[in-house]
Amino acid sequence: MAEQVVSRRQSANAIRALSMDAVQKAKSGHPGAPMGMADIAQVLWCDFLKHNPGDPNWFNRDRFVLSNGHGSMLMYSLLHLTGYDLSIDDLQQFRQFDSKTPGHPEFGYTPGVETTTGPLGQGLANAVGMAIAEKTLGAQFNRENHEIIDHYTYVFAGDGCLMEGISHEVCSLAGTLNLGKLVMFYDDNGISIDGEVDEWFADDTAKRFEAYGWQVLSVDGHDSAAISDAIEQAQSETSRPTLISCKTIIGFGSPNKQGTSATHGAPLGDEEIAATRAALEWSHAPFVIPEDIKQLWDATEKGFTAESAWKEKLVIYEEEYPELAMELVRRLKGQLPSYFSAKADEYIAECQGSDDNIPSRKASQNCIEAYASLLPELIGGSADLTGSNLTNWSGSSAISQKADGNYIYYGVREFGMSAIATGMALHGGFIPYTATFLIFMEYARNAVRMSALMKQQSIFVYTHDSIGQGEDGPTHQPVEQLASLRSTPNMSVWRPCDNVESAVAWKSAVERQVGPTSLVFSRQNLPHQARSDEQLQAIARGAYILKDCEGEPAVIVLATGSEVAISLAAVETLQAEGINARLVSMPSVDVFEAQDADYQEQVLPMSVRRRVAVEAAGVDYWRKFVGLNGKVIGMHTFGESAPGPVLMEHFGFSAENIVATVKSFDA
């Protein structure tokens, strides 16, 4: 028994040594959390975690999320030690340009990293999404004696993660949804950057999580046997997520700095590292791991065996349920049904043949109705605004009531909802869409950003898109949000003008797998626009000529969303007065900007300098399209509280004002 304790501690010390050495070499980083959580990580990764270093993307692997991502050297040490494609040289390049070991773990850069973490609490939120995905996908595909989807989601989180409000949102929902395969290890070290947290974080965390409906366990985070027992107890609880509160010492092993904020976010220093080596009885040089400890950690053979056993189960499953197996494989590969594109085009043509004058949020719901029946992987939800966002459809089934459902009632949790959806996308097998009012994107802003940063296919549905919603007033009327979304790298944004553009936007979002899409819809009715077949095809290019003139245009009016109809009326008036005016509908700026130069020139010829952009949002974004000589009819202030039509008229969104603005070029 004594030998086992020594080997475990020395095995954990490998993490401590690698972490303090890498941070010291980089001259920046966070050694404290990796050193404090090393014993927990050693037990979990060596004895419980189901994974295969030879195939980091094996689908039925357990998911491990380091929510307190500043402790990234813990993650990198674990990946290196267990056999992932992460070398000692990679660890020595910690925090350097173009390395596989960036300052915070980044999805797509390092094999074995499940999600990008750093903004505290969001890794935990992603993990909740992964656990929802595992439970729901398993309910959809598992059959008696065929547990094909069956894995745990483990999270490491610190005080900072639990102080962030998003932790309340997602952990409350996790308890409500009975996510029994979600296990969180709380690094209860009592220290953050500013010092001892009891001065500003005096919550009774155990009671808090018990109130959420979690199983709560408490252990000494440096007692391997106690940690092991707690994990076994967590796994035996199938109806509740588990919090394992681990009392740890930050910077464990550092004689003069452990237990203090000095180890949190700075290198220990050469002298203290030497003292720590002596205290830990670790006599090896920096970045040197002895062979016997390497062998204790190496998980390649065990991982290969685990994945091979799963593949054998999958073969038997395929024999007994061939159609289910084909569908599962399709979804795990992220492939759309072969018939989707053609069916979606048929629906778009149907919309063009109609004359529906409806809010684009209703047009969006019609799209969901049409597309969701073709896409069982589509999983939706709203932040307590289902009846306003119109995001449910006739086939919606609440996950809270049915494990194999396809709709989540998130409650008033915009931030948590958006991060959970990213977790579901990262897990695989689903295309998540979520919804709230456009203005409340602000609550979720950083989760939306993280989705874009990781290039995840998450569809964000935003309704009530402008001052046109009226009486709720400026607190509910978005002004700057469209520019914010459009300025986010990897984000695609659509603001359609009618039912047809809405259908094209939804199709684009479903087919786009290189990042999230924001679909922005109106509350008020929008008139259906007549189009030629050529114009119909051009919508998918992001912008197109909706109303043209004879010969070279003297002025071009650009508009989106609800402002297209009034712009059309203005252009028709201008043409009747002999002014060569062109109307360009631009539902997606980023899609248009991705088109070839010839098409862009065809729609917006450089020779036409007189341009007017019309959108009930902030004006500055449109300067790049209208130029210094152009004009923008938009919002320079916040809105007001009044009926929508009154506000639109007051702020200049009328055909008369557009006509006057065009004529002012000659004034």
Among all residues, which ones are annotated catalytic? 414
Q: Give CA–CA dist 661/430, Å, rounded.
A: 47
Q: What are phi and psi of 526, to 5 degrees?
A: -125, 130
Q: Are strands 242-247 and 517-520 parallel, antiparallel or unpaired?
A: unpaired
First to last CA, the chain: 92
Task: Quickly list DSSP for 287-300.
Answer: T---HHHHHHH--H
Which residues are CB-neighbours of 390 under 8 A, at least 6 positions away?
Answer: 361, 362, 364, 365, 463
Closest listed residue to residue 377, CA positions, set 325, 425, 306:
425
Q: Give CA–CA dist 110/56, Å, rounded.
A: 10
CB–CB of 521/385 below 8 Å?
A: no
The two structure tokens encoding residue 113: 């990293």
The two structure tokens encoding residue 363: 């047009």
Closest listed residue to residue 413, CA positions, set 386, 436, 383, 372:
383
The two structure tokens encoding residue 34: 């990796």
CB–CB of 122/446 below 8 Å?
A: yes
Q: Give CA–CA dist 68/34, Å, rounded.
A: 10
Which residues are CB-neighbours of 399 under 8 A, at least 6 positions away?
Answer: 132, 136, 177, 405, 406, 407, 408
Which residues are CB-neighbours of 372 under 8 A, at least 6 positions away?
Answer: 378, 380, 393, 395, 406
How far apart, in Å, are the Cα atoms of 313 and each of 59, 143, 151, 554, 611? Answer: 13, 12, 14, 68, 63
Residues β-bridged to residue 247? 188, 220
Which residues are CB-neighbours of 665 under 8 A, at least 6 positions away?
Answer: 555, 610, 631
CB–CB of 384/411 below 8 Å?
A: yes
Angle between helices 72-82 and 2-26 (to 10 degrees): 120
Residue type present at position 213: G
- Kindly report the CA angle at 99 between 123 and 273, in degrees rounded to 5? 80
Beta strands in 360-481 (DSSP E): 378-382, 407-409, 431-437, 459-463
CB–CB of 83/72 below 8 Å?
A: no
In 110-189, which residue ranges form alpha helices assigned H by DSSP? Answer: 122-141, 159-163, 165-176
Closest listed residue to residue 399, CA positions, set 179, 234, 146, 169:
179
Scanning the structure block, which residue is given the tokens 């973490």? Answer: 117
The two structure tokens encoding residue 323: 């159609």
Residues β-bridged to residue 153? 63, 182
The two structure tokens encoding residue 462: 């935003």
Residue 542, classed as helix, strand or coil, is coil
Closest listed residue to residue 37, CA positions, set 261, 236, 202, 227:
227
SS3 per-residue string spanning 173-193? HHHHCCCCCEEEEEEECCEEC
CB–CB of 441/460 below 8 Å?
A: yes
Gyration radius of the chain over CA positions: 28
